[in-house]
Each structure stands twice: as C-alpha cells, then as structure tokens.
Amino acid sequence: MSYLPLIMLGVLLNATAQLFLKEGMRRIGHFEFVWANAVPITMQVAGNVFVLGGLLCYVISVAVWLLVLSRVEVSFAYPLLSVGYIVNAVGGYYLFQENLSVSRITGILIICVGVYFVTKS
C-alpha cells in the first residue's frame, strides 16, 4: 500500500498551519518584543482565530505524522515534508503577495527533483 497520500495530507496540514499562523500574525501586526507586551500580545495571539486554526492544523498534522512514522521509513517520509516549502511559497505569493523570485523558483524546482528521487527509491 502506498502511504504517499497520507504523507501529503500531513504536509498540507503543516503548510496550512504556517499560512494560518502568518495570517493571524499579519492581523495582529508588528510588535516590540519587550516584557510590557508579553500579556497583551499573548492575549491577542490566544484569541486570534487564524492562530488557533494554525495550531489545530499542527496538532492534526502531528497525529498524521505519527501514523505515517508507524508505517514508513523516516528516511523516506521526512524528505517529503519539503513539499511544504513549495506549498508555502506558492501560498505566500498568492495570499500575501510575497516575493517569488527566480532564485526561489529555482530552489523549488530543485526540491521537486529531490522529492521525485526520494519517492522513486
């Protein structure tokens, strides 16, 4: 049985978590990392639906990852997590208008080639 769909589910959950966390912090905005902000910022973060959604995605992705690790060699599964870099680069570009330069696209293509070789082993 191929566990690739299960691994990809974990990857997508993890990438979604990152995008949710980014949106949550984008809505909170820049803040100074000082003691005076500890409680107010913690309260904002704890009440932010995007941050909470991101954390929920992380919890589910960890459960999926544990399921994967109980069935697949870690040396096969772990490199596939790098697909999350691709998802996040594309998501960041479309959702947050982040830069997707030629060097980043080149890196993404290199990751794709590496993932191909790992899945064919």
- pLDDT higher than threshold 70 for residue 73: yes
User: Percentage of the chain with pLDDT > 70?
Assistant: 98
CA distances to 76, 90, 111 from 56, rounded to whole Å, are 26, 22, 27
Residues with Cβ within 8 Å of 61's Cβ and at least 6 positions away in sequence, in order, are 10, 13, 14, 17
Nearest Cα to Cα of residue 86 among 112, 52, 54: 112
- Averaged pLDDT, 77-88: 90
- pLDDT higher than threshold 80 for residue 1: no
- Averaged pLDDT, 66-94: 92
Exposed, middle or buried, 77 (CB in 10 Å: 0-12/13-18/19+)?
Answer: buried
- What six digits make up the tokens of 103? 């060097």
Q: What is the pLDDT of residue 88?
A: 95
The structural domains of the chain, with segments of one domain joined by +, span 4-120
Tokens 């909170």 identify what position? 28
The chain-wide mean pLDDT, for the chain, equals 93
Q: What is the pLDDT of residue 112?
A: 87
Give me the helices (H) in the chain, please: 4-28, 38-46, 49-69, 74-80, 83-96, 102-120
> For the whole model, what pTM was predicted?
0.87
Q: What is the pLDDT of residue 106?
A: 94
Q: What is the pLDDT of residue 79?
A: 87
Residues with Cβ within 8 Å of 112's Cβ and at least 6 positions away in sequence, in order, are 86
Task: In whole angstroms, give the CA distance from residue 63 to residue 104.
Answer: 30
| pLDDT tens digits, one per residue of 24-65 | 999 999 998 899 999 999 999 999 999 999 999 999 999 999
